[in-house]
Amino acid sequence: MKKDLARVFFLCAVTLLTTGCWDYTEIELRDFVVGAGVDAVEPKVIVITEMAKSTGTGQEAEFRPVVLTTEARSLTSGAHNLANPSGMEIFWAHAQVFLVSEEVAQGGMLTILEPIIRARDLRSTMYLLVAKDCTVEEVFKSKPPLLTGVSQHLTSIIRLSAISADFVPQQLWQFTGDLAAPGISATLPAVELVHEGGNLMPVVRGAAVFKLDRMIGWLSKEETQILALLKGESEGGFFVMDTEIKGNTTAITYEFRGSQLKTKPIVDGERVEMKVSLSLQLGVAGTRGADVDFSDPAVVRGVEEQVARYFTRRIRDFLRLIQEDYNSDILGFGRLLWRREPATWRKIESDWDAVFRGLPVDVEVDCRIAFTGFRAQPIKMRN
């Protein structure tokens, strides 16, 4: 019994003496990259990073953004070269956003994506964006109004996409998936700089349209709203429409309260077409004080019909843009055909660009006013 106890005590003592970290790095010796981007790839790769520099300790610790720029022959070597000017070990796992300039996007994303995907420290959940009418460096050196760093500001905006239809977020894994999948082209949200309080502030709105890995054009904020609806990714947002009610035209603000999308390929012999059915549930957010009584069923029906015609026209204009001007299947009609009608897809896959350009699309929009706030009737004033 005593020998057994002695063995137990010996093992416990050995365990205590041999515990500890075999490898560690002090946090004070690291710089954390929270956002990065590329402004050029030729003749050298220009890499821009935003780092969170820690100052203070404990509850008094603070992080301030530091923007560094470096040039190298490749993205990977440029990322490693940042350790020299920073004087710290660079930690990439917390990078939230990755931006590319319009020039880089037009030249092809594969050059940039390949080393990112290979890197073990970068996450596939990073958000990708394209800088519009500005450089990536200018974006990172702009001044967000409330948050400390640009990367945190952009991430916060993107996470609010559920209440905004101004853009369609794309993470790294989603974008590379669209590049690899048959019958679909990719998009990325656009970053612009706007003047606010004497400073330049970054905003996310619109989209960059791609053909394979090369950017070929832009979508406006309004066109991106239709893109989000037709991809089934719109959950919120507002729009203003001039609405005629009892002979008077009023600019009414509507809110998206929900939508249901059904896209169906129709194959008849050699003929292929798409049928798009969109059902919108809207709320009324404001009538600018106009005398509009939404408790009147006739008024509601008239408004619903006008909104349905309005979105039918906008969708047809959008389809004309992506089919005739860009010839880029960013809605994934080809991928849907590949899934639903694989035999037909195999026949036309090699000629999909020509088929998509002239693809007939039947559009059907239904609208319902589902919410008018706490009051359906207009506010009355005394005479």
**Edge-to-edge strand list for the sheet holding 361-371:** 238-245, 248-268, 271-286, 361-371
The pLDDT assigned to 181 comes to: 92
- What is the crossing angle of helices 297-320 and 221-230, to 10°? 100
Please name the helix (run of DSSP H) or strand (run of DSSP E) that holds residue 227, with its range, or none: helix 221-230
Domain boundaries, the chain: 27-219, 228-383
Tokens 């880029």 correspond to 328
DSSP string, 77-135: HHHHHTHHHH-SEEE-TT--EEEEEHHHHHH-SHHHHHHHHH-SSS-TTPEEEEE-SS-
Q: Is the peptide bond before 43 cis (omega within 30 degrees of 0)?
A: yes
- Phi first, then psi: what are they for 115, rounded to 5°? -70, -25
Render pLDDT for 232-291 as a digit per residue (tens, 0 to 9): 887 778 889 998 888 888 888 888 888 899 999 999 888 999 999 999 999 888 887 777
| Four-point Cα dihedral 32, 36, 41, 46, nearest 10 | -60
Q: pLDDT averaged over the chain?
A: 86
- List, for residues 123-156, the tens digit of each pLDDT value: 899 999 999 999 999 999 998 887 778 999 999 9
Q: Which of 291, 315, 294, 313 is nearest to 368 (CA)?
A: 294
Contact 318, 330 (CB under 8 A): no
Domain 228-383, second-level architecture: 2-Layer Sandwich (3.30)
Question: pLDDT category, 292, cuts 50, 70, 90?
Answer: confident
Rounded to whole angstroms, the Cα distance separating 209 from 217 reads: 5
Residue 379, pLDDT score = 66
Pick from 179, 259, 3, 213: nearest CA to 108: 213
Cβ atoms < 10 Å from Cβ of 350: 9
The most confident of the ranges 205-214, 224-233, 372-381 is 205-214
Three-state DSSP state, 2? helix
